[in-house]
Amino acid sequence: RAFEAEINCSNPLGTGGRLAIGFAVLLRALWKGTHHAFQPSKLKAIVASKASQFTGYAQHDAQEFMAFLLDGLHEDLNRIQTKPYTETVDSDGRLDEVVAEEAWQRHKMRNDSFIVDLFQGQFKSKLVCPMCSKVSITFDPFLYLPVPLPQKQKVLSVFYFAKEPHKKPVKFLVSVSKENSSTEEVLESISRSVRVKPENLRLAEIVKNRFQRSFLPSHSLDTVSPSDTLFCFEVLSKDLAKERVVLLKVQQKLQVPNISISKCAACLKPPVSDEDKLKRCTRCYRVGYCNQVCQKTHWPSHKSQCRPNSEHVGFPFLVSVPESRLSYARLSQLLEGYSRFSVNVFQPPFQSGRTSPETSQSRLDVAPVPAGSVDEAVAGSSTAGSGGLVSESHSQLPEGQAEESQSSAVRSEASGSPSPSQTSLSTTRTTGSGFSESLDPHAEKETSCEKAVRPEAAVTGYQQPNESASGHASPFYIALLDSSNKEQRLDEKEDALADLPEDATLELVWKNNERVKEYVLVSSKELEYDEDPGSLSETARAGHFTLEQCLNLFTKPEVLAPEEAWYCPKCQQHREASKQLLLWRLPNVLIIQLKRFSFRSFIWRDKINDMVDFPVRNLDLSKFCIGQKDEMQQPPVYDLYAVINHYGGMIGGHYTAYARLPSDKNSQRSDVGWRLFDDSTVTMVDESQVVTRYAYVLFYRRRNSPVERPPRFLRPVTAESPTAAGDAASQASSQSLFGTDLHPEGPPSLTPEVFDPVDAIVRRLQYKLKYA
């Protein structure tokens, strides 16, 4: 009852002592232990009389009620009877220590109670004007720490490709915010794992075996879902290469689409026999005809659908090459090295009708195709609407030409004229009728791709430089895509430097044409990769945070919203300044609110149910408290002694609490162990049950610090005390008013239910103040 001497009945901000006395009555009744349950209706009525939001029986916020209760107790017990006028203390370039102490003393000139002694700390608030860079530093008191929770997380699967093509891709699971996430978060996460600078990483989304979009570090990832495929490529830095580095996007495709043609597109008749195969359109390779008459008949309807083959296989990738090493041989090594992780490439056994590697020399001795034949083929195809015919087993050819040698076909498409190699490597020629006529006598008996013998051996995934020198041709060629997506086949000179623009797109075209010696069977496969061991628990960590993360977010600078703009005294205008809150002075009893309730708009409110792991023992806030360190002062280490839990959502819910009674001498120990308070039910619980995802408000006590009031307010109220009631009758009256005896075993002379002790004590105190 020593608090009676501190009741401030004249404070207009308080309740005249009614709240303090009502709270004391509640505590006395609870500690007496004579009631199975006690209804604090009087205390709630006092609070509601000063704060109308707590009237009625609707659900109220426990933290808001607690904050109002502590503030009301402070005003009722404020030792300052007459508050002087004070101004806000600004730094003006002075030392933080000087400004902080001055601000704290000015605060104590108006606010001095045991609530301030135990519960209040001090912030350092830093505001920076975005226009004039004016810095304003103030020090403000706080009663509790409202720490935000990190935003809801999503786990993205990111496949990392090193710049060395022989290294297998690695799959990382990266947690980012569901809202306001950026590419920078992913790049920094991958950077820490692979020890590569973030500026040397590139992120891209892959859809249907091709690049969908590329992300800059500042780009948002809000529209990226966990099911999307993301590739992260390491690129060579210009500083390391000491020269210009060319970045190239590479996509893989087939020359001939993997589709079978069973009937003529014009007359809808199947071939009479296997000997009479349908001839494919040499531009799209997706339709076949019996003869040129059928082709001409069908061309008007087919013309709008006739497009070059764009069937991609495997996954695309990004390569970086120093400008001085940008040769075809180097590109072939890089491209074949990366491609082997996403495609199966098989070399079928030799079949009759296809030139074998052993007889490749005889192919060079074939008589050249007369130049007139080529011109004739172009003219014939033009007449047919650029849809020349080729046998079913032929590879894709440029518009307006029949199939010739594999090495010249695509180059002719870009240039529009026959290349020199057409006359030396051609194994077929086009007749004036528009049909391709093979110079190989076994061509008519050639088996189609669909009827090829099952592959027996896989082609080596990494092409060595000496393969080309030994005469073994590559199973693919490389083409440059222009702005209109037309192919321009690169010159296959091994050592010649390629002149490629920055950020060009290349196509690795697999030669799945069974007529040529480089014929291979190619199919997509699941990407080969290794799992990152450190990412295995990333999914479990999503939506699981620590109190340290929340405190880091609390002390992180933020830009003020327009409605919270700060008035800059230098600009003399309101500015959306950068604001940062830092902890300067910490109280003995620290209250931390986990801000689980978000208010996006007037009608959209949500509760965050993510798990926040907080320590029960040894919460060390040394890294967060930047105040002047005193060697004699104990470090700010705290032990938990109570938790308020909230179950449910915004519309309705239920509150419970965990609490223990810490020892006065050592807060790590408990005089009374952990209890669960659930309405009128109290049960013992183990300490391991205290940390849950429903924790809302945390109560910590600073280790090795007094939590009782200062000694000058602990002396007993006696007849000799100048603040005493003055006689034993007054003390007895006070006892009866509280409804309990000083002795724990003594029966109460009156109980709180008999009459209103709050009003009686207030009237007695007011009488004393008036006539003392």
Location of each CATH 3.90.70.10 domain in the chain: 96-148+543-702
Structure tokens at 24: 């004391």
Assign domain 96-148+543-702 to a CATH class: alpha beta
Type and span of the H or E element at 389: strand 389-391
Q: How many of the other CB atoms lie within 10 Å of CB of 92?
A: 8
Express as a percent the part of the chain with pLDDT over 70: 72
What pLDDT shows up at residue 602? 53
Residue that is written with structure tokens 């049960």 in the block: 683
What pLDDT shows up at residue 459? 37
Structure tokens at 330: 């180097």
Query: What is the rounded average pLDDT of the residues 580-607?
Result: 83
- In 622-695, which ranges are continuous DSSP H helix? none
Query: What is the rounded average pLDDT of the residues 569-582?
Result: 92
Query: What is the rounded average pLDDT of the residues 34-62?
Result: 86
Give the range among 436-440, 479-483, 488-492 with minimum mean pLDDT. 436-440
pLDDT at residue 614 is higher than 80: yes
What pLDDT shows up at residue 38? 85
What pLDDT shows up at residue 439? 32
What pLDDT shows up at residue 749? 37
Where residue 494 falls (left for φ over 0; alpha for ψ -120 to 50; beta otherwise) is: alpha
Structure tokens at 390: 């080729």
What pLDDT shows up at residue 761? 63
Question: Greatest CA span in the chain, whole angstroms?
Answer: 133
What pLDDT shows up at residue 701? 94
Q: pLDDT of 88-124, one tens digit each?
A: 888 778 899 999 999 999 999 999 999 999 999 999 9
The alpha carbon of residue 669 and the mean position of all alpha carbons in its chain are separated, in whole angstroms, by 40
Question: What is the rounded average pLDDT for all residues in the chain?
Answer: 76
Give the range among 5-9, 283-287, 342-346, 759-763 with minimum mean pLDDT. 759-763
CA distance 181 to 154: 10
Query: What is the rounded average pLDDT of the residues 230-248?
Result: 91
What pLDDT shows up at residue 280? 78
Express as a percent the part of the chain with pLDDT over 90: 38
What pLDDT shows up at residue 667? 83
Give the range among 7-11, 197-201, 221-225 with minimum mean pLDDT. 7-11
C-beta of residue 519 within 8 angstroms of C-beta of residue 354? yes
Query: What is the rounded average pLDDT of the residues 672-676?
Result: 94
CA distance 770 to 772: 6
Give the range among 34-48, 192-206, 758-772 with minimum mean pLDDT. 758-772
pLDDT at residue 29 is higher than 80: yes
What pLDDT shows up at residue 589? 94
Which of 449, 507, 511 has its CA nearest to residue 474? 511
pLDDT at residue 587 is higher than 90: yes
What pLDDT shows up at residue 729? 34
Query: What is the rounded average pLDDT of the residues 501-510?
Result: 87
What pLDDT shows up at residue 312? 87
Question: In degrees to the nearest 10, what's the CA dihedral of 509, 513, 517, 518?
Answer: 20
Q: pLDDT of 422-456, one tens digit each?
A: 333 233 333 333 333 333 333 333 333 333 333 33
The conformation of residue 673, written as its DSSP 8-state character, comes to: E
Query: What is the rounded average pLDDT of the residues 481-496?
Result: 80
pLDDT at residue 722 is higher than 50: no
What pLDDT shows up at residue 605? 66
Query: What is the rounded average pLDDT of the residues 510-527?
Result: 84
pLDDT at residue 384 is higher than 50: no
**Sequence-separated (6 or more) residues with CB below 8 Å from residue 5:** 713, 717, 723
Higher pLDDT, 556 or 534: 556
Instruction: Grade residue 740 by pLDDT with cuts at 50, 70 and 90.
Output: very low
3-state secondary structure 466-503: HHHHCCCCCCEEEEEECCCCCEEECCCCCCCECCCCCC
What pLDDT shows up at residue 539? 57
What pLDDT shows up at residue 351? 55
pLDDT at residue 74 is higher than 90: yes
Give the range among 178-192, 274-288, 421-435 with minimum mean pLDDT. 421-435
User: How close are the terminal C-alpha atoms of the chain, in Å?
Assistant: 19
pLDDT at residue 462 is higher than 80: no
The alpha carbon of residue 714 and the mean position of all alpha carbons in its chain are separated, in whole angstroms, by 54
Q: pLDDT of 338-382, one tens digit each?
A: 999 999 998 876 554 444 443 333 332 322 333 333 333 333 333
Query: What is the rounded average pLDDT of the residues 704-731?
Result: 44
What pLDDT shows up at residue 361? 32
pLDDT at residue 259 is higher than 50: yes
Query: What is the rounded average pLDDT of the residues 688-715?
Result: 77
Which runs of E-coded beta strand occur in 191-244?
201-207, 210-215, 229-234
pLDDT at residue 724 is higher than 50: no
pLDDT at residue 487 is higher than 90: no
CA distance 327 to 350: 32
CA distance 766 to 406: 108
Query: What is the rounded average pLDDT of the residues 278-295?
Result: 84
Q: pLDDT of 530-543, one tens digit each?
A: 999 877 666 556 66
